[in-house]
């Protein structure tokens, strides 16, 4: 069982609100990732980090931002949520030098 | 750009039958090919993977085959059971540099009891 946790599990908010999706892992992994999963199932990489103070944008453009101040924590923030941000957000991590991804259970975000 | 095509998008099989999901990748430098299973309400979990120096790998009822020349790889599930019902993703990656995955579009497998 992977030790990577996402909160909240579900979030329903109104347009214009600022939100932060939390992701924490207790495995000491250097690499962490955020994926956006649309209803059609596809996984799109929106952010990744190779260690503390390292963040990069992924393949899919996103208005969200991330930070990596601590190895175990990789939060994602939306300054002003919109209905187009409604999606499932999955956090993942991997160990340096290993390819296997460990995923959290995801946050289902609905913006009204 | 780099992409991974996955077919079929949905697959229904009778319990006990076999299921095959196929993927094709575009980047010939890809050398690592994992398969992930995503059950309802959960994140994807790795079920099997294969590297480019191997043509086939098996783990109990699950097997993966790789044809580097054709840039195809496939997941085979034998003796399917209802608990195999899930969404399956293939992916391709290069194990140098970033390890960024290119995921397939997913296959929703339904095993009918």
Report chain A's C-alpha Rg in angstroms. Answer: 13
Q: What is the dihedral of CA A8, B107, B19, B50, to 10 degrees?
A: -80
**Percent of chain B having pLDDT more than 70?**
96
Distance of alpha carbon A75 from alpha carbon A23, whole angstroms: 6
**Percent of chain A having pLDDT more than 70?**
98
pLDDT tens-digit readout, B2-17: 899 999 999 999 999 9
CB contact under 8 A, B108 and A99: no
B106 at the A interface (CB within 8 A)? yes
From the candidates B101, B107, B108, which should be mutated to test the interface with A, based on the most A CB atoms within 10 A? B101
pLDDT at A76 over 60: yes
Closest residue on chain B to A102 (Cα) = B45
Q: What is the mean pLDDT of residues A17-29?
A: 96
Distance of alpha carbon B3 from alpha carbon A6, whole angstroms: 28
Mean pLDDT taken over chain B:
93
**Which one of A42, A43, A99 has the shortest CB-CB distance to B99?**
A99
**Which one of A41, A99, A106 has the shortest CB-CB distance to B106?**
A41
Q: What is the mean pLDDT of residues A72-91?
A: 96
Distance of CA A53 to the CA centre of its chain: 16
Q: What is the mean pLDDT of residues B68-87?
A: 97
Q: What is the mean pLDDT of residues A51-61?
A: 90
pLDDT at B57 over 90: yes
**Confidence at B100, pLDDT banded by 50, 70, 90:** confident
CB contact under 8 A, B103 and A101: no
Closest residue on chain B to A56 (Cα) = B98
Answer for the pair B64, B48: CB distance below 8 angstroms, yes or no.
yes
Res B97: pLDDT = 62
pLDDT tens-digit readout, B19-42: 999 999 999 989 999 999 999 989
């Amino acid at each position: 069982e992977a030790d990577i946790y996402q909160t909240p599990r579900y979030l329903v908010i109104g347009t214009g609100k600022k939100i932060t999706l939390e992701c924490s892992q207790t495995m000491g992994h250097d690499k962490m990732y955020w994926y956006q999963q649309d209803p059609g199932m596809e996984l799109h990489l929106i952010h990744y980090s190779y260690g503390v103070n390292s963040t990069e944008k992924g393949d899919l453009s996103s208005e969200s931002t991330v930070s990596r101040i601590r190895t175990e924590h990789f939060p994602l923030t939306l300054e002003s949520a919109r209905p187009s941000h409604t999606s499932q957000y999955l956090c993942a991590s991997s160990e340096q030098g290993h390819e296997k991804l460990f995923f959290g259970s995801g946050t289902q975000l609905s913006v009204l | 750009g780099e992409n991974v095509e996955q077919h079929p998008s949905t697959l229904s099989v009778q319990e006990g039958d076999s299921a095959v999901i196929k993927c094709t990748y575009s980047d010939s430098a890809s050398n690592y090919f994992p398969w992930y299973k995503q059950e309802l309400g959960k994140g994807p979990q790795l079920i099997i993977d294969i590297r480019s120096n191997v043509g086939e790998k098996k783990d109990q009822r699950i097997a993966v085959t790789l044809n580097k020349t054709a840039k195809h790889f496939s997941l085979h599930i034998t003796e399917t059971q209802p608990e195999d019902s899930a969404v399956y993703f293939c992916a391709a990656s290069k194990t140098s540099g970033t390890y960024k995955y290119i995921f397939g579009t997913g296959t929703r497998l339904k095993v009918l009891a």
